[in-house]
Amino acid sequence: MRSIRIEEKVAVYPGTFDPITLGHVSVVRRGLSVFDRIIVAVAKDTHKENFFSFEERYSMLKEVFAGESRVEVMKFEGLLVDFVRSIGAKIILRGLRTVSDFEYEFQMALTNRKLDSSIETVFIMAEEHVSYFSSSLVREIAKLGGDITQLVPEPVVRWFEKKIGRLKVSK
Ligand code: COA
């Protein structure tokens, strides 16, 4: 057998993260068994109107992954492929939850490939117990004063408390 060349495998996990949920965290954790390092890249330019500002989403992610030496949080503006190329990475990591994610992810992966064919998108499935909700559902529950503690990492609950200050927190 030929010897195996050890190169650092780095993946960029991009998203809006408005806010990051336990589903996103699950993808990062599982991704760490495949990649040496994951760069969680928060996007400024998305097609969405965001609840948390770009800076808030970035700071929130920094808090969530503060203890994770193999996870780095970065911001980016403009095209994702330009950012990936600029840091010398070659892989975009995306999570898949349900079949309904597939069409959108398929379109995005192929468009990114059209923009830069040297960059590959790799998919990891989020764990099933965190596969049924999204950031917009979390925002809706939080704005209506519901309990989001089972859906998001702990620091995110505090970010919502600061921003809207009327959450029920289960004891
Ligand atoms: N668990 C829970 N929810 C998840 C999830 C997971 N594992 N993976 C995705 N989601 C949800 C998110 O919560 C979000 O929900 P919402 O729509 O209710 O808010 C939705 O699925 C998708 O969000 P996200 O993962 O943040 O990705 P996104 O689609 O917002 O991110 C970018 C898109 C940022 C990657 C894309 O817009 C981009 O690349 N922008 C830069 C500009 C660019 O290059 N554009 C061309 C792209 S081809």
Q: Which of 57, 94, 97, 139 is catalytic?
A: 97
Question: What is the model's pTM?
Answer: 0.92
- 8-state DSSP, 79: -
Pocket (CB within 6 angstroms of ligand 1): 14-18, 21, 23-24, 27, 43, 45-46, 79-80, 95, 97, 108, 111-112, 126, 130, 134-136
Tens digits of residue pLDDT in 41-53: 999 977 788 999 9
Six-digit token pair at 82?
């330009």
pLDDT the model gives residue 169: 55
Tens digits of residue pLDDT in 88-120: 999 999 999 888 888 999 999 999 999 999 999
Instruction: Please give the average per-residue pLDDT across 157-171, as a whole number.
Output: 75
CB-CB contact of 75 with 41 (8 Å): yes
Active site annotation includes 47: no
How confident is the prediction for the chain on average, in pLDDT?
92
